[in-house]
Amino acid sequence: MRRDPWQRRPAWARQRGRGRVPAVLSVLAVLTAGLLAFHRAVPNSVGRPGSLLEAFLPWLGLVVVVLLVLALLCRSATALLALLLPVAAWTHLFGGLLVPEAGPGPHDLVVVQHNVSDENPDPAGTARVLADAGPDLIALEELVPPALAVYERILAPRYPHHAVRGTVGLWSKHPLTDARPVDIKPRSITGSWNRGLRAVVHTPHGDIAAYVAHLPSVRVGAGGLASARRDESAGLLGRAVAAERLSPVVLLGDLNGTVDDRGLAPLTSRLNTAERGFAFSFPAVFPVARIDQVMAREATVGHIRTLPATAGDHLPVVARVTLD
């Protein structure tokens, strides 16, 4: 008599397949679904575990894959059924990001965002990579002399209009006016620190307010996620955007947080984020999160993707913004 293939299981699964292992897999599946669906319920007090979870939220999909493999190995219908919960939760949160890029529209702007690194050994090569993407706007952070002069020289032929305030800058194919710094400095920083810029871009489709920002870095240590300065700076930037009278508004920057991170809620509650694409941008050697963002008000951020690596420690991101 042939043996039922459903019964051909590993020894550990044969011993426990009808008991502990399927139950554990089912519980883990439900917990994973809960973290995906109710990540805002995870507290964000000591160590900011909520923000830490949200920084890597899409990667819970890998947990689902591992649980699926184990459920198949132990031939557990119960565990497979339980896995429908995290699959549904992940698809609800991130499935739309997998939709292919739509074709360009008549009122689109292409924008590039890149933290070029203040230790970049090849600013000229970096500038060429960004310009070769042919965007309308290029936002850069960590601009320091003498590299700044190199970016200005290389980008000037195709981007004759630019504004730099502190260590952030904006290059444009279209005229810029009313460029000024935006104060997003946390109170605990006492030295010179200018990482915010606002300018008006006069596009063929009308004027837009463009913001470039570089929020403070976060650190992960034994005490959890240290993001107080980043969160305070995000609040200041959010208030500046809320007070902006011109629309549309486009924000480009290294925000040192993902769009799921509640620390960026002062921005994500006021601005649209990318509808399609993951575009993990940091660290460049093995990107695990997109902390380089393109957001907009009264405009739609369509597909976002990364460009080829430069000599910086972030990957550049490029997005198409449709003006409403």
Q: What are the tens digits of pLDDT across the range 165-175?
A: 999 999 999 99
User: Model confidence at 4, in pLDDT bands (50, 70, 90)?
Assistant: low
| Helix locations, the chain, DSSP H | 11-16, 20-37, 49-55, 60-73, 77-82, 84-94, 123-132, 147-155, 228-243, 265-268
**Residue 224 burial class via C-beta count within 10 angstroms: exposed 0-12, middle 13-18, buried 19 and up:** middle
Percent of the chain at pLDDT exceeding 70: 92
Residue 29 has pLDDT above 80, yes or no: yes
Which class would CATH give 108-323?
Answer: alpha beta
Residue 87 has pLDDT above 50, yes or no: yes
Neighbour order of strands in the sheet with 292-297: 176-181, 196-203, 206-214, 249-254, 292-297
How confident is the model over 91-119, as a mean pLDDT? 88
- Condensed to tens digits (0 to 9), the pLDDT of residues 113-124 reads 999 999 999 999
Residues 6+ apart with CB under 8 A from 270: 238, 241, 242, 297
How confident is the model over 201-210, as a mean pLDDT? 96
Distance of CA 286 to the CA centre of its chain: 15
Predicted local distance difference test score (pLDDT) of residue 246? 97
How confident is the model over 96-102, as a mean pLDDT? 84
Tell me the torsion sign for CA atoms 182, 209, 117, 259: positive
How confident is the model over 233-240, as a mean pLDDT? 98
Q: How far apart are CA 20 and CA 26, in angstroms?
A: 10
Cβ 297 vs Cβ 241: under 8 Å: yes
Cβ 56 vs Cβ 288: under 8 Å: yes
Entry pTM: 0.91
User: Model confidence at 51, in pLDDT bands (50, 70, 90)?
Assistant: very high
Predicted local distance difference test score (pLDDT) of residue 324? 78
- Condensed to tens digits (0 to 9), the pLDDT of residues 286-307 reads 999 999 999 999 999 999 999 9
How confident is the model over 24-44, as a mean pLDDT? 95
Predicted local distance difference test score (pLDDT) of residue 160? 98
Q: At what angle do helices 60-73 and 84-94 cross, to 10 degrees?
A: 150
Domain ranges in the chain? 5-98, 108-323
- Condensed to tens digits (0 to 9), the pLDDT of residues 242-260 reads 999 999 999 999 999 999 9
Closest by CA position to 250, among listed 314, 177, 178, 323: 323
Place of tokens 């119960």: 78
